[in-house]
Structure 1
Amino acid sequence: MVDETGNESSDEALNAVPLGRLAVLYYGVGHMLNDITSACWFTYLLVFLTDIGLSPRDASIVMLSGQVADAFTTVFAGELIDRFGHFKLWHAGGSILVAISFSSVFGGCLPCKIYGISSSLLQTIGYSIFASIFNIGWAATQVSHMSMVNCITPNPTSRVALASCRNAFTMVANLSLYAVALVVFSIYGAKASADIKTQYRWIAYFCIFVGCCFVGIFLIGTNEPDLKLQMKLERPTKIAWSHWFRKILYYQVAVVYMLIRLVTNVSQALLAFYVIDDLQMSHSSKAVVPGIIYICSFITSVILQEMRWSGWRLKIFFTAGAIVWIFCGVGVFILPSNMHNLMYILSVAIGIANALMMVTGISMQSILVGQDLNGCAFVYGSLSFLDKLSCGIALYVLESYQDPDRSTGPLSMRHGFSVNRYGLGLVPASCALLSALVTYSMDLSSGRSRPLIEPLLV
């Protein structure tokens, strides 16, 4: 990794003392509340809203309102964090908003209860308000947590380890959610709207409880990073936004990160609909199939933590994940319902591909930031802005083509394939292909780095 000021700072970063296992673990658990609520959000929000009577378009409006609020909050929070710091304070404040609002999203329409009216318009407005509050808190937590990576350590291998550990605990969060969801869906049948709300309310309570426990561990075990303070003393001038806009790598990383999130979030949001409506699998499969995906992602993330990383290795592993996703997308698109058991095999491959792309993709952001710590929060915030806005728009467009009764829409009537197949198969595959092409064009600095002091998560 070569800094713009010369090779000296690069050598200092490579020779910096790597982090130990506990420091990496304390950081890695800090995003658990965001991760477990996000898993429930993208996997079950559209299912929940359509099950209680909202049309697919109205449900997607709720999703879009949250994504838009999230997108703008990331830029706002990123600017304030760059200006004032206090990573842990932003993290704690965002976590409080997430915990308070998330149960309200799945707890029913509060304005409907106040006015005694259950119209579709009022329900859409009510759920959209709490969705926006939830995503504002989620964004503040995400930006503060992600931008801490470069401020905790200058060692490139340790930075990859922090990103990989965070991704590994994302898998733990998702597996915890799907384990509870599997129990709830298996033993507690719900057909009426009130019963469905009770189902998801208990799932939401579990998410909040587990997530808050890990947030407490993070806040206690992780010290406020002082590396950013040191850099401010050495380079007191705040880095302007134009500094990043002059970098070709910024645009490349932004496109790749946006495409990664489209791959993971769009596929996650439509997976439950696909296995139930298209493959005609049992209702427990909407917990089992994503559970398999995240088990495989978790194992892959742990393996990736123990590797030595360089620019060319990041590109190779990312490209490998993208290629696997392309084949999986084609498989999802053509898989007939009478061969639905093959979805379990595809789930294994999707899980591996997700981990390969996510870990290496986030690590590319650390390479982009390098030693420019006075502007790192803006980078993470602006990239997240593109991620949230693109995902919200993509899901809104896809859901707009869906029939109100979730049957096959106009696209499927013309071509014999449902909107779910297009959204889960071709959209992620196309994004994976484009992201691989952009990654190939990147100029990622390479260099040897020292291994971690201790192995992680073993």
Structure 2
Amino acid sequence: MASKSSKQWTTAKILSYGVGNVLNDMCASSWFSYLLVFLNDVAKLSPVDGAIVMFSGQIADGIATPLVGVLSDRSTGFPSIGFGRRKTWNAGGCVLVMLCFFFVFGACLPRWFTDAPSSTVLVLYYCTAASLFNVGWAAVQVSHMAMVPELSSNDNIRVILNSVRYAFTILSNVMVFIAFFFLLHDVSPYNVPDQLKFTLLTIFTMVVGGLCTFYFLIGTEEKCGPTNVAEIQSLRARRNSPAVLDHGHRGPADMPFEADLAPMTPVFATATAMTWKCWFKVCMFYEVGMVYMCTRLSVNVTQVYIPFFLTISLHMNAASMAIVPLLVYLSGFVATFGMRYMNDRMGREGTFAFGTGLMVLSLIASWYLTIETSHWIYPLSTLLGFGQSVVMVTSVCLEGDLVGDQNESGAFVYGAMSFTDKISNGIAVLLIQNARQALTNDALADAYFVRQIYCLVPGLAVVLGAITLYWMRYGSGTLNLKPRRQSVHEGSQLLHEEGSYGTARV
């Protein structure tokens, strides 16, 4: 039977699954890298109003992701036309993503009715579109990831599906950055990120992403549901695994890394498991949360403010806004290949410290860049991307260490950290943009402030994460007591043993 299942997976079917998230990936590339630039320079919103729009999207993403997972699990889809619950949610999410993405970057609906809509109308409009976009994005992301364990019980097939999916994630990001570069370079007015270029980029994204989604929907054969109790329990455990949950809770603000995928062990209902309330008694829950939040903050702030640093502080042309993020992304991808070796040789804290050092070195050097030496940002961005990849993957590994084999309550852990991450990043951008608004009429002060934000905030955040990680090793000692990933019963006992697994000591 296994042999038969394996023969059914032709190259065409594997590719059809792999392209199912291309629309999401292409939209995500533009969303967090260029949303504030678009809102400030094209939509003419104030810095604070632009931050409010982004913050509304972050809130919607944090709330929608776990809700989509629950609702998707409980739905049935339309089996009569070959659409199970996952493809149904994926198709609906794609429609919502395309509509909202177009009405953010491609066209402004209020301007169809009046030439000068008020700022209040524009803010409400973009907040609504951003929130709905993130809901659709979550529906596509969660449903696509959740299909993997349901499509095949063959571990090799699952690895292939995840690998092909990640390959298309890389390709999607590269396509967007290259397309934006050529639009800035070849479409008049040159090196000006105006409405026309964003509209063309939106159309390109929707055409390519839409075709890939169509191929996924017609080419991927989805099971309509598990057939027995054992399969239901196994699927529940796999959907709650660290790899699936972390990818599911990453919004369009985040960079994907497949290297942190971990083996997924089924958990059955008869095993002893921790409840979500138990995690509040675990010291390591708060420590890992701090590391995770600091890591995400450092990465997201650099991602958002790279375009402003390049154009406002270094006075580089707009084409650099496409080249530098591309270099960061590609170098981060290369770094993932050495993650297992670094973790084996240096441990969690050593690997994180190494990534922190690379990031801090890049950011310190960037602080001293001038208009004349601005070309050095290209090698420095490569160094930054490498360091970001190292700390991000390590932070996800720490989450896996925390959850251990507690897959049944792992959803709460990943959901809680994801929500905290999105809220903290949204608040940070809101505060930064509020400070920038006071400098609107002082270009030199604004340029210096952007330099401070880009070079100092991410560096301080990642250093705080590294300090917390070393505290876990040499202070509280929780990193020394991480559970062995062998059995659920064994992991759950760590909560109740005195002084174990980071429990509070009295």
TM range (shorter): 0.7 to 0.9
2:205 to 177, 201, 207: 207
1:299 to 334, 345, 356: 334
C-alpha distance in 1, partners of 2:408/2:345? 23
Q: Which residue of 1 aligns with 2:55?
A: 64
> How has the CA–CA distance of structure 1 residues 361 and 213 changed in structure 2, closer, same or farther, with 3 Å as cutoff?
farther
| Aligned residues with identical type, % of pairs | 32
Q: Which residue of 1 aligns with 2:324?
A: 289
Q: Is it true that 1:329 corresponds to 2:363 in the alignment?
A: yes
Q: Which residue of 1 aligns with 2:181?
A: 182
Deviations 1:148-189 (A, max 9, x none): 789999999999999888666544332221100000001113
C-alpha distance in 2, partners of 1:437/1:266? 19
1:54 to 45, 50, 72: 45
SS of aligned partner of 1:263? helix
Q: Which residue of 2 aligns with 1:100?
A: 99
RMSD: 4.2
Q: Is it true that 1:343 corresponds to 2:387 in the alignment?
A: no
Alignment check: 8 A CA contact 2:184 2:191 kept: no
C-alpha distance in 2, partners of 1:122/1:353? 41
C-alpha distance in 2, partners of 1:151/1:362? 24
Alignment check: 8 A CA contact 1:26 1:222 kept: no
**Deviation at residue 121 of structure 1 after TM alignment:** 1.7
**Deviation at residue 45 of structure 1 after TM alignment:** 1.1
SS of aligned partner of 2:45? coil
**Deviation at residue 358 of structure 1 after TM alignment:** 2.5
2:427 counterpart letter in structure 1: I
Q: Which residue of 2 aligns with 1:120?
A: 119
> How has the CA–CA distance of structure 1 residues 445 and 50 changed in structure 2, closer, same or farther, with 3 Å as cutoff?
same
SS of aligned partner of 2:417? helix
When structure 1 is superposed on structure 2, of 377-386 and 305-314 the one drifting more is 305-314
Q: Which residue of 1 aligns with 2:35?
A: 45
Alignment check: 8 A CA contact 2:335 2:389 kept: yes
Alignment check: 8 A CA contact 1:94 1:137 kept: yes
Q: Is it true that 1:279 corresponds to 2:314 in the alignment?
A: yes
Q: Which residue of 1 aligns with 2:457?
A: 427
> 5 Å matches for 1:124-135?
124-135=123-134
When structure 1 is superposed on structure 2, of 394-403 and 242-251 the one drifting more is 242-251
Structure with the larger RCO, 1 or 2 (CA within 8 Å, 6+ apart): 1
> How has the CA–CA distance of structure 1 residues 96 and 305 changed in structure 2, closer, same or farther, with 3 Å as cutoff?
farther
Q: Which residue of 2 aligns with 1:4?
A: none
SS of aligned partner of 1:338? coil
> How has the CA–CA distance of structure 1 residues 400 and 260 changed in structure 2, closer, same or farther, with 3 Å as cutoff?
same
Alignment check: 8 A CA contact 2:21 2:144 kept: yes
**Deviation at residue 272 of structure 1 after TM alignment:** 0.8
When structure 1 is superposed on structure 2, of 269-278 and 141-150 the one drifting more is 141-150
**Deviation at residue 309 of structure 1 after TM alignment:** 6.4
1:248 counterpart letter in structure 2: C
**Deviation at residue 67 of structure 1 after TM alignment:** 1.4
TM-score of the superposition, structure 1-length normalised?
A: 0.77
**Deviation at residue 382 of structure 1 after TM alignment:** 2.6
TM-score of the superposition, structure 2-length normalised?
A: 0.70
C-alpha distance in 2, partners of 1:213/1:54? 33
Alignment check: 8 A CA contact 1:56 1:404 kept: no
**Deviation at residue 92 of structure 1 after TM alignment:** 4.2
Q: Which residue of 2 aligns with 1:229?
A: 232
SS of aligned partner of 2:106? coil
> How has the CA–CA distance of structure 1 residues 192 and 366 changed in structure 2, closer, same or farther, with 3 Å as cutoff?
closer
Alignment check: 8 A CA contact 1:62 1:127 kept: yes
Alignment check: 8 A CA contact 1:24 1:162 kept: yes
2:406 counterpart letter in structure 1: D
Q: Is it true that 1:262 corresponds to 2:261 in the alignment?
A: no
1:436 to 454, 466, 469: 466
C-alpha distance in 2, partners of 1:216/1:361? 35
SS of aligned partner of 1:282? coil
**Deviation at residue 206 of structure 1 after TM alignment:** 2.1
C-alpha distance in 2, partners of 1:71/1:256? 18
Q: Which residue of 1 aligns with 2:261?
A: none
C-alpha distance in 1, partners of 2:396/2:155? 12
C-alpha distance in 2, partners of 1:372/1:338? 54
When structure 1 is superposed on structure 2, of 34-43 and 84-93 the one drifting more is 84-93
Deviations 1:247-278 (A, max 9, x none): 33333333333222212221111111111111
**Deviation at residue 317 of structure 1 after TM alignment:** 2.8
Alignment check: 8 A CA contact 1:43 1:272 kept: yes
> How has the CA–CA distance of structure 1 residues 29 and 245 changed in structure 2, closer, same or farther, with 3 Å as cutoff?
farther
> How has the CA–CA distance of structure 1 residues 447 and 242 changed in structure 2, closer, same or farther, with 3 Å as cutoff?
closer
Alignment check: 8 A CA contact 1:150 1:369 kept: no
Gaps of 5+ in 1: 1-19, 449-458
Q: Which residue of 1 aligns with 2:65?
A: 74
Q: Which residue of 2 aligns with 1:362?
A: 396
Q: Is it true that 1:400 corresponds to 2:400 in the alignment?
A: no
2:406 to 369, 372, 377: 372
SS of aligned partner of 1:402? helix
C-alpha distance in 2, partners of 1:80/1:54? 35
C-alpha distance in 2, partners of 1:330/1:159? 42
**Deviation at residue 135 of structure 1 after TM alignment:** 1.2
2:372 counterpart letter in structure 1: N
1:279 counterpart letter in structure 2: L
> How has the CA–CA distance of structure 1 residues 321 and 170 changed in structure 2, closer, same or farther, with 3 Å as cutoff?
farther
C-alpha distance in 1, partners of 2:23/2:460? 30
Q: Which residue of 2 aligns with 1:12?
A: none
When structure 1 is superposed on structure 2, of 114-123 and 382-391 the one drifting more is 114-123
Gaps of 5+ in 2: 1-8, 77-84, 237-266, 473-478, 487-506
> How has the CA–CA distance of structure 1 residues 309 and 229 changed in structure 2, closer, same or farther, with 3 Å as cutoff?
farther
Alignment check: 8 A CA contact 2:17 2:216 kept: yes
Deviations 1:329-383 (A, max 9, x none): 2222232222111111111101111222223333433444444333444433332
1:384 counterpart letter in structure 2: S
